[in-house]
């Protein structure tokens, strides 16, 4: 696996792959890789000639008091995992590579899609995401970029950015990977103590319960949200950030589940904030 040392080196190498007629698949990550990330790598390997993985804990998508400083990092471990997956190149820039002194250019996706869910509780988060992802696209020149459905709102924001700014690439969504007990894979799961880890199972349980009620004929969004709220309330340590149901296409408001919907939630256990979601159709 080639280590791309610096922005110019990475961009030049990717340009050479394009000139050789090879398709590039990019998997952007913040590292501390788990099976969810590796599922993106495996999908990229299936669809593209060359697979590039980026590892960069992006400071500008973290708010004041969030976990940027303590976010789990282990580049050697990540590199070994990527080598096992036969990744072609790893791009792991320094903060100074991505945001040199005087840096002051940002990408911001407006509208409802960034104003709700994580956008409401983490102001500026998606401005940071859109900026770093657009930079990674310009550096790594992918034909396809692979993102996990667990970060459903993030994928929707990036899809909108790609569409409206005419980036010449395709965004590929890959399904959520879960632990055997249903907890969605996340780098932040390592923060949970044993009891918090057990209680965190209510996230997936709440989504499954609401989906079951949809399948049984319940369509009222308010009642479905209350069903999820009651399940999560069974966990004493759970502190709800949001529980919402929106149109899966654009995060538009809905009072009835009469089309494809995104059920999404964010819950804190101690200092650890977890997100999960489920798509439902009628």
Q: Kindly state whether residues 20 and 159 are assigned to the same domain.
A: yes
The confidence score (pLDDT) of residue 154 equals 98
Q: Kindly state whether residues 146 and 260 are assigned to the same domain.
A: no
Percentage of residues in the chain having pLDDT higher than 90: 100
- pLDDT band of 49, cuts 50, 70, 90: very high
- pLDDT band of 3, cuts 50, 70, 90: very high
Domain extent, residue 258, equals: 187-277
- pLDDT band of 208, cuts 50, 70, 90: very high
Mean pLDDT, range 32-53, rounded to an integer = 98
The confidence score (pLDDT) of residue 242 equals 98
Catalytic residue among 34, 37, 125, 213: 37
Residue 145 sits at φ, ψ, to 5 deg, of -125, 140
Q: How many CB atoms lie within 10 A of CB 61?
A: 21
Q: What is the pLDDT of residues 138-168, one digit of tens each?
A: 999 999 999 999 999 999 999 999 999 999 9
| Euclidean distance between CA atoms 6 and 85, whole angstroms | 22
Q: Kindly state whether residues 234 and 150 are assigned to the same domain.
A: no
- pLDDT band of 263, cuts 50, 70, 90: very high
How would you classify the pairing of strands 261-269 and 238-247? antiparallel
The confidence score (pLDDT) of residue 60 equals 98
The confidence score (pLDDT) of residue 260 equals 97
Q: Is 37 an annotated catalytic residue?
A: yes
User: Last residue of some domain: 121, 145, 174?
Assistant: 174
Q: Is 180 part of any domain?
A: no
Exposure pattern of 174-196 as b/e (b: 16+ CB <10 Å)? bebbebeeebbbbbbbebbeeeb
User: Last residue of some domain: 124, 145, 174?
Assistant: 174
Q: Kindly state whether residues 80 and 192 are assigned to the same domain.
A: no
Mean pLDDT, range 184-202, rounded to an integer = 97
Q: Mean pLDDT across the chain, nearest whole number?
A: 97
Cβ-Cβ contacts under 8 Å for 209 (sequence gap 6 or more): 227, 228, 231
| Euclidean distance between CA atoms 83 and 190, whole angstroms | 23
| Euclidean distance between CA atoms 118 and 107, whole angstroms | 17
CATH of the domain at 18: 3.40.50.620
Judge whether 114 and 246 are in contact, CB under 8 Å.
no
- pLDDT band of 45, cuts 50, 70, 90: very high
User: Last residue of some domain: 174, 198, 218?
Assistant: 174
Give the predicted TM-score (pTM) of the model.
Answer: 0.96
Q: Is 50 part of any domain?
A: yes
The confidence score (pLDDT) of residue 143 equals 98
Number of domains observed in the structure of the chain: 2
Q: What is the pLDDT of residues 98-146, one digit of tens each?
A: 999 999 999 999 999 999 999 999 999 999 999 999 999 999 999 999 9
- For residue 133, give the nearest of 112, 154, 110, 164 by alpha carbon: 154
């Amino acid at each position: 696996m080639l280590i791309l040392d610096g922005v110019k080196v990475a961009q030049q190498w990717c340009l050479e792959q394009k000139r050789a007629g090879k398709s590039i698949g990019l998997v952007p990550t913040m590292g501390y890789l788990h099976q969810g990330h590796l599922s993106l790598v495996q999908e990229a390997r299936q669809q593209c000639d060359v697979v590039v993985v980026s590892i960069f804990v992006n400071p500008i998508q973290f708010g004041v008091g969030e976990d940027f400083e303590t976010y789990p990092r282990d580049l050697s471990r990540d590199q070994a995992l990527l080598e096992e997956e036969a990744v072609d190149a790893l791009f792991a820039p320094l903060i100074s590579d991505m945001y040199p002194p005087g840096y002051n250019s940002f990408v911001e996706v407006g509208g409802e899609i960034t104003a709700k869910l994580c956008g409401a509780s983490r102001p500026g988060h998606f401005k940071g995401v859109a900026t770093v992802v657009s930079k990674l696209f310009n550096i790594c020149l992918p034909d396809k970029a692979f993102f996990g459905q667990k970060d459903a709102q993030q994928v929707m924001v990036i899809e909108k950015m790609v569409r409206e700014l005419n980036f010449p690439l395709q965004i590929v969504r890959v399904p959520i990977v879960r632990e055997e007990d249903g907890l969605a894979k996340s780098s932040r799961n390592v923060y949970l103590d044993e009891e918090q880890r057990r209680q965190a199972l209510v996230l997936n349980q709440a989504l499954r319960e609401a989906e079951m009620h949809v399948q049984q004929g319940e369509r009222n969004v308010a009642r479905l949200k209350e069903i999820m709220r009651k399940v999560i309330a069974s966990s004493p340590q759970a502190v709800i950030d949001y529980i919402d149901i929106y149109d899966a296409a654009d995060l538009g408001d809905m009072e009835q589940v009469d089309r494809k919907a995104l059920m999404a939630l964010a819950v804190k256990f101690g200092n650890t904030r977890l997100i999960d979601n489920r798509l439902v159709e009628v």
